[in-house]
Chain A
């Protein structure tokens, strides 16, 4: 029905100002939707990337979620036995048969695993004492599960193997101690082992707690330091497909029994905040689009009222109710479409403008402005919602127009 489009176009063109108002309403709604969602998603994606980047996708720990079954429970299966405050048995802590487990994980497709021993230690340099977490790693394996190599500001992970009792520390930690590359410091473990270690590298991840309180050493060296020979207390896993982390963690836990935490579980607090943040974002932008839709509804309703006679004459000429409905629906959709196109351009400009803003405080990772998500899907979603809103907003007055009784109109006018 090109004819109805032509008539709609003619009507829209003759009331440019009203059309402009409804188009700019939609355009603003679409632009704000795009800009705000791009801002929020950009920030969230950056944040998640940072988490995924720094943290392993799955961490297998030397813990179990459920305490081992107790004698009373085994003796009376199915009976109502409640035991609280089970004291952990004195056994050598650590993941049992860690080597086999790493080998099994490595055999799976798209899975890289690295055994580590993590423990507390006191760093002493001169009169300064700083407590830190020392992670004992196997550099060759660790590179495959962590991006720490990328964050190295001096030296390389592999240098641990070339330096006797080498240690890699965060820059923040170095600053707190007042030491730099090549300096030798004293490291004391809770078990009382004292080692003299040489700084073989430094890193900066951008996450303060890590930079100021973490250090890496060779797995063997840390086992000596912690006085836990041959013990591994974590297996870090990195997957080719991050989205599989949660199901894979469940699979590992069910197979090994050791507690396996996906990055989602470890950062559940942050991800929950994101859910709430998204809800706020979409309700605010949705409200803007809703207002724009009311604008269209208002304009089309006014037009239907003004065009009562024209509708009557068109019906008397032989136009059907469907024709009339289409005529006004098209006008609303055209306003929505023009608004969506204009809004997309405006939204893109707003994104670029926001990306220009720089904050005085620079984060260690180098980001001192908004990180914008320039995904085309945001534009598609905004345009889709705008067209939907325009369609719904115009279909109501369009239906009313199509039901006008020409006899009553003509009788009233004559």
Chain B
């Protein structure tokens, strides 16, 4: 009998090996529940980012299973995975990766319009609300190049939140920011997890920031060496 409420995300014996033979992630089993704020740490090349891409359905495991809300994603087509990413996941990368031709507002609107659940003015309203909540209300119509590094990263977080995802995945989101901005970004993540019940998984190599997470996973050579959860 299946449990009534499956965990949000689950990895079962997941291994990711490159065709050339290098093993990025080895036999990882992890369970993430709603509202968790997780920091994934580890030295360079320990497989942190690879693990995140597997969690984010951007990459497929060589062996093992990735389950989102109890559903095995192994057999899903590329397009079905894309649809899941659009609805349930939000990504934040080290670089903001905002589309340079479009304003912050347009950048947030793009995933909302792609999902197509909201129409017309509702799209704009939601995008504005997201930006305003992250303190970018006044800068909404500026192009990414006109924004500061911290503002860009906050705009990227607003975009990740566009379709109200249950899971936020961040890959070194503070790697390019100064301490104050980095702390602000972690404040936002903390709030998203604690107040809004989203699961936030952040890859970072900053031990001070990692301490603020509710759960810390340490990776070495693609294996989990410690998991505080």
List chain A positions with a Cβ less than 8 A from chain B: 3, 7, 10-11, 13-14, 309-310, 312-323, 406-407, 410-411, 413-414
Contacts and interface: CB of A to CB of B under 8 A. Distances in A.
Nearest to B85: A318
Contacts of B83: 318, 320
A10 B144 CA distance: 14
B85 A317 contact: yes
Interface string B81-119: 011111101010111010111100010001101110000
A357 B159 CA distance: 61
Nearest to B98: A313
B228 interface: no
9 contacts: A10-B101, A10-B102, A10-B106, A14-B100, A316-B58, A316-B85, A318-B114, A318-B115, A410-B49
A322 B79 CA distance: 9
B78 to A, nearest CB: 6
B169 to A, nearest CB: 9
Interface of B: 49, 53, 56, 58-59, 78-79, 82-87, 89, 91, 93-95, 97, 99-102, 106, 110-111, 113-115, 159, 171-172, 175
B144 to A, nearest CB: 11
A411 B78 contact: no
A318 B86 contact: yes
A319 B49 CA distance: 21
Given A313-B93, A318-B86, A3 B101 contact: no
B18 to A, nearest CB: 11
A319 B5 CA distance: 29
A414 B19 CA distance: 21
Nearest to A1: B114
A160 to B, nearest CB: 80
Contacts of B89: 318
B11 to A, nearest CB: 16
A176 B171 CA distance: 98
Contact of A316 (B91, B95, B172): B91
Contacts of B82: 315, 318-321
B91 to A, nearest CB: 5
B159 A317 contact: yes
A310 B111 CA distance: 13
A61 to B, nearest CB: 72
B114 A3 contact: yes
Given A3-B110, A11-B101, A316-B91, A414 B79 contact: no
Contacts of B102: 7, 10
B171 A414 contact: yes
B111 A317 contact: yes
Q: Top 9 closest A-B pairs, CB basis?
A: A318-B86, A313-B97, A318-B85, A14-B101, A10-B101, A320-B82, A3-B113, A320-B79, A407-B59
A175 B118 CA distance: 87
Given A10-B106, A13-B101, A321-B79, A410 B93 contact: yes
A107 B100 CA distance: 78
A296 B87 CA distance: 35
